[in-house]
Amino acid sequence: MSFTGGDSVVVVVATDDAAATEAVNEKQYFTRDLSLDNCLAAAADTATVVDLTVDQRFIGDVGCVVWDAALVLAKYLDRQSSRLGLRRPALVVELGAGTGFCGLCAAALGARAVITDLADCVDLMVRNVNKNRLLIGDRVAVHEYDWAQTAGGDQQLADEQLFFGHNITEINYILISDCLYYAQSVRQLYDTVDWLSSKGATVLMSYEDRDDKRPLVDKFFKLIKSKFIVNEISSDELHADYRSPDLHLYN
């Protein structure tokens, strides 16, 4: 299409705006895959896909990528899925889920999962739920949840027993990967864990050693050990390719 006006020519190239916008949007993402040995969809023979694939963002806060500690926890869930009873189906809550990786993995293995993080991460978690529908069916719910809501908090006081429609007595596992990151929220994370596990849920938490985070790890473990029995999961129980001396998994 062209328009002539005086001695200048304006050329307008007509494009499919929606397709162009979509192409630009897609460039914000890169993927992380994880092969699962015990995927429910593969066992039921309803899909040949056994790779969990999540989108990560090139630009964003720490929650926009999958951290190594999440891979260790996810592969532990895969390896131990039968012993953990994920296909019962267990109810799993993931805190500080980022991309939603561990909760999505639990759901692919047969669990129902509630994956939560701050508002900034919600779109990415929803995107990853939609991306993995074949593996997870409708077993995953995404919610914004700030641990600050627990500490003395609105949600806890408003309804002590309910977490996004689930009675906390139903929760079997709480997943936390690499969330000992922020000085201001160590206590809030502890309070959230304390509340959500108060009716018997098991906490599975992984983290990576970082010198600058050592005081936060020490503070969290001091709090948690005052009330919980805490065990480091031995490297024998972890997947051989998804373990490292600087990555720790506790329950």
Ligand X SMILES: C[S@@+](CC[C@H](N)C(=O)[O-])C[C@H]1O[C@@H](n2cnc3c(N)ncnc32)[C@H](O)[C@@H]1O
156 near ligand X, judged by CB under 6 A: no
Identify which of residues 50 and 118 has a Cβ nearer to ligand X in the complex: 118
- The CA distance from 204 to 105, in Å, is 14
Provide, rounded to whole angstroms, the least separation between the CB of residue 176 and ligand X: 7
147 near ligand X, judged by CB under 6 A: yes
Identify which of residues 87 and 244 has a Cβ nearer to ligand X in the complex: 244
Give the x-and-dash track for 49-78 against ligand X (CB under 6 A). -------------xx--xx-xx--------
Spatial contact of 244 and 225, defined as CB atoms under 8 Å apart: no
Identify which of residues 29 and 182 has a Cβ nearer to ligand X in the complex: 182
Could you tell me which stretch among 30-38, 181-189, 196-204, 228-236 binds ligand X (CB under 6 A)? 181-189
Provide, rounded to whole angstroms, the least separation between the CB of residue 245 and ligand X: 18
- The CA distance from 18 to 246, in Å, is 45
207 near ligand X, judged by CB under 6 A: no
Q: Which amino acid is at 176?
A: I
Identify which of residues 14 and 77 has a Cβ nearer to ligand X in the complex: 77
Q: Which of residues 74-133 bind ligand X (CB under 6 A)?
A: 96-98, 101, 117-118, 121
Identify which of residues 42 and 126 has a Cβ nearer to ligand X in the complex: 126
Provide, rounded to whole angstroms, the least separation between the CB of residue 32 and ligand X: 9
- The CA distance from 220 to 214, in Å, is 10
Name the residue number minimizing CB distance to ligand X: 63
Provide, rounded to whole angstroms, the least separation between the CB of residue 61 and ligand X: 6
Provide, rounded to whole angstroms, the least separation between the CB of residue 69 and ligand X: 5
Provide, rounded to whole angstroms, the least separation between the CB of residue 63 and ligand X: 2
181 near ligand X, judged by CB under 6 A: yes
- The CA distance from 163 to 198, in Å, is 12
Contacts with ligand X, residue ranges (CB under 6 A):
62-63, 66-67, 69-70, 96-98, 101, 117-118, 121, 146-148, 177-179, 181-182, 185, 188
